[in-house]
Amino acid sequence: MTKQRGKLILIEGLDRTGKSTQCSLLAERLGERAHLIKFPDRTTGIGALINTYLTDEAFALPDESIHLLFSANRWEQHAAIEGMLLAGQHVVLDRYVYSGVAYSAAKHVPGMDREWCYASDRGLVRPDVTLFLVNQESNDTRSGFGEERYEKAAFQERVRSEFHALFETLGPRCDEVVTVDVTGRSIQQVQQQVWDLVQPVLDEPIDSTLSTLKHFT
Ligand code: TMP
């Protein structure tokens, strides 16, 4: 029997939408065949710089530089992700290219438009399925934003618009993004919906050859 490759599953969303919880639950449910990778990956040298930027407002970096560091942080894992998929392992991603573009473009820095922000991620392997978690409650009424640099209600609203604009403009260059509305729903309810959306993708047989991996173009 031909060996099957694993599937790349991405969960995206704004801060405080329950992404990380859902990613962990999904990876747990997938069992030994799954790896969970979170971006930013704060465990690397580049990730440590990103962590300092996010947690220390006094740490100054040009917006272009921090954007490219987030992208470089994804490229650090690229070969490993492709290797896992070809070895038949599923990979669950907690944030990826879309967060990279949406958060940076939401800063509205002259010259850093959506295309500029996207350019450094061209060539990264594309997910087989992308779920975008949305909470319809206004960011003003939701509690729980933390202390990190981007966790401010007004900025999150801009990121929300950027995500939507991005899904429309990237159009055919990205796979269909499925929106999951988490408003007022329990962790278990969302988990079940995530599972129902992911399972058909897992069941689809794809041979484990390099040519079956798609990339952002
Ligand atoms: P986290 O809360 O999921 O660890 O993400 C940290 C912050 O970094 C979050 O506010 C989103 C932001 N971010 C970017 O600005 N660009 C990126 O490429 C990624 C992956 C995250």
pLDDT above 80 (res 144): no
How far apart are alpha carbons 66 and 46 in whole angstroms? 10
40 lines ligand 1 (CB under 6 A): yes
pLDDT (tens digit per residue) in 23-80: 999 999 999 999 999 999 999 999 999 999 999 999 999 999 999 999 999 999 999 9
Pocket test residue of 103, 118, 120 for ligand 1, highest count of atoms within 8 A of CB: 103
H or E stretch at 92: strand 90-94
Q: Quote the CA–CA distance of 209 and 115 in Å, as a whole number.
A: 30
Model confidence at 138, pLDDT cuts 50, 70, 90, reads: low
pLDDT band at 170 (very low <50, low <70, confident <90, very high): confident
Structure tokens at 195: 């599972």
* Contact partners, residue 165, CB within 8 Å, separation at least 6: 114
